[in-house]
Amino acid sequence: MNSPFRTKTVEQSIRDTEEPEHALRKSLSAWDLTVFGVGVIIGTGIFVLTGIAARNNAGPATSLAFVAAGIVCALAALCYAEFASTVPVAGSAYTFAYASIGELPAWIIGWDLVLEFALGTAVVAVGWSGYVRHLMHTNLGWDLPTTLAGPDAGGSFDLLAFLLVLVLTAILVVGTKLSARITAIVVAIKVIVVLLVIVAGLFFIKADNYTPFIPPAEPQTSGGGWTAPLVQLMFGYQPTNFGVMGIFTAASLVFFAFIGFDVVATAAEETKNPQRDMPRGILGSLIICTVLYVAVTLVVTGMQKYSEMSATAPLAEAFKSVNQPFFAGAISLGAAVGLITVCMILLLGQTRVFFAMSRDGLLPRVFSVTHPKYRTPYRATLLLGGIIAVVAGFTSLEKLAELVNIGTLFAFVVVALGVMVLRKTRPDLHRSFRTPWVPVVPILSIAASFWLMLNLPAETWLRFGIWMLIGFVVYFTYGRRSSRLGKAGADAEY
């Protein structure tokens, strides 16, 4: 029990959920989980990052980048579905790692998820702010003072993004079921907008815009994966923009658009029947969104030349380019409304991971106390919501999106590894959903995730490494000695 690789059994994890002071309310169904998944997946990735990826990395072949990213997510989703139904406890990959690989790996992935969801929330809030400012300017002639428009608009502080996070924090304190109801309404609006893009856009496609479908490769002049020495040495190619390999560069960016099904896993403890409903929510939301993403990307890149696409509001600008301001306005309104749920669900996932780590003693236990009336982790929610609101005020969109991606991909690697380990160490566990073809699917998930990680910029790896280093320091100075599992052996606590 003194080892940093000590594991917390599935039975111990489930017993923790029964402590009244640290228990969450079970109120979610398979429908709620699917809505959560669709609500968070359809967001910044399709409404914002599509334009960046098409213009800078893959051209019309961005649709293939979405397919590649979707395949990586599907492999990981199969692993998540097994874990979430077998270990229905808040915390997602953190909890799964604790039950299979050990405390230190669990801490690492939990620390990673804290960063992933926090920055993801900030990124989405900034994307939402951009769409709202666009609507205000276009339809009302209003403009915020430049100072309050945010870094992406040449300002210093993004007031709208800051206020959005604060409002959503208050909603999450009140309850998860309320969040689900609001999400269901907003998701309906968002899906209608996406279908509007697909159906209306079909009438404005120009075949010439698809030529060339895969633009000629260009060497990356900045950023790129672990470019020349490592990637070229390991795989024999120089990372490029455009060309076939540019599709993978784009995939590593638009991968952000699929972040969502792993957030569904964080709500396992609040699900009425997690053994049945978690796999349905995770896999169902991923399938629906992948189909919609590919269709939208094909339509939008057919409407407007990829080199002319907007980096901030590509869908709306594509309709403007064909003189359809009504559709442009409707899309901007739908995107602005839709991004609210993305931000809220990412914030929910962040607080649940933080709550689980706190309940285990790896972070101060005070943050795992739930509200006496709402049964939500209100202290963790208020703390994190306040911090993220400030971060969102000073956020630049593209760099943080890349940092979120590397954190998510790292989580995928850990979950896939955990599935293989738990199959060996606990073959007796009842698994209502079993990942097919183990260990082939988990190994493919690890390889595909690592491949996309290699296509991210070197500076992203550096920032990620610094965050992980800070995490090691926190664990060995606080988490290890405060761990409930480690105190006087497990018997004293369990």
Tell me the two tokens of residue 279: 């796999």
The pLDDT, as a whole number, for residue 197 is 87
- The pLDDT-based confidence of 179 (bands split at 50, 70, 90) is low
- The pLDDT-based confidence of 228 (bands split at 50, 70, 90) is very low
pLDDT of 120 strictly over 90: no
- The pLDDT-based confidence of 45 (bands split at 50, 70, 90) is low
The pLDDT, as a whole number, for residue 177 is 65
Residue 159, amino acid: L
Average pLDDT over residues 379-390: 93
The pLDDT, as a whole number, for residue 461 is 84
Distance separating alpha carbons of residues 364 and 383, to the nearest angstrom: 12
Average pLDDT of the chain?
84
Angle, CA 425 vertex, CA 423 and CA 428 arms, to 5°? 70
Distance separating alpha carbons of residues 74 and 95, to the nearest angstrom: 20
The pLDDT, as a whole number, for residue 132 is 85
User: 225 near 455, Cβ under 8 Å?
Assistant: yes
- Residues 54-106 have pLDDT tens digits of 998 899 999 999 999 999 989 999 999 998 888 888 778 898 899 898 999 99
241: helix, strand or coil = strand
Element holding 315 (H helix, E strand): helix 314-321
Distance separating alpha carbons of residues 491 and 481, to the nearest angstrom: 16
pLDDT of 232 strictly over 60: no
pLDDT of 114 strictly over 60: yes
User: 83 near 419, Cβ under 8 Å?
Assistant: yes
The pLDDT, as a whole number, for residue 225 is 43
Return the half-sphere exposure (C-beta side, CA atoms, 13 A cut-off) of residue 96: 29
The better pLDDT of the pair 383, 492 is held by: 383
Q: Mean pLDDT: which of 237-246, 299-308, 480-489 is highest?
A: 299-308
The pLDDT, as a whole number, for residue 142 is 85
